[in-house]
Amino acid sequence: MFSDRINLTDLEPALSRERHRVALARAQSAWRRRCPLGRNGDAVLAAHHVREATAALDELLGAVDIEEVLEMVFSSFCVGK
């Protein structure tokens, strides 16, 4: 009955672009460096690493940081009198 369908669990995800692989590796590295939030865990340090991982995943997904775009646009302007 379902023989003509592909079992998606058999497919391995593939990252075809180098920038995707790099972004995913950065996210994975940042996630692994986070410290546990137990008794001795530092919440600020953990938040920093989670933020790094989130930024890398945003890059992977193509999310745009408006501040970064504005910086790029306005850095090329020469304002003079």
Spell out the domain ranges in the chain: 15-75
Q: What pLDDT was estimated at residue 48?
A: 86
Q: Of all residues in the chain, what percent carry a pLDDT higher than 70?
A: 68
The pLDDT value given to residue 77: 72
What mean pLDDT value characterizes the chain?
76
Cβ(56)–Cβ(30) under 8 Å?
yes
Kindly state the average pLDDT of the residues 44-71: 83
- Given a cut of 70, whether residue 53 has pLDDT beyond it is yes
* Token reading at 40: 């001795």
- The answer to pTM > 0.75 is no
Comparison of pLDDT for 22 and 80, the residue scoring more? 22
**Integer angstrom CA distances of residue 54 from 23, 48, 60:** 10, 10, 10
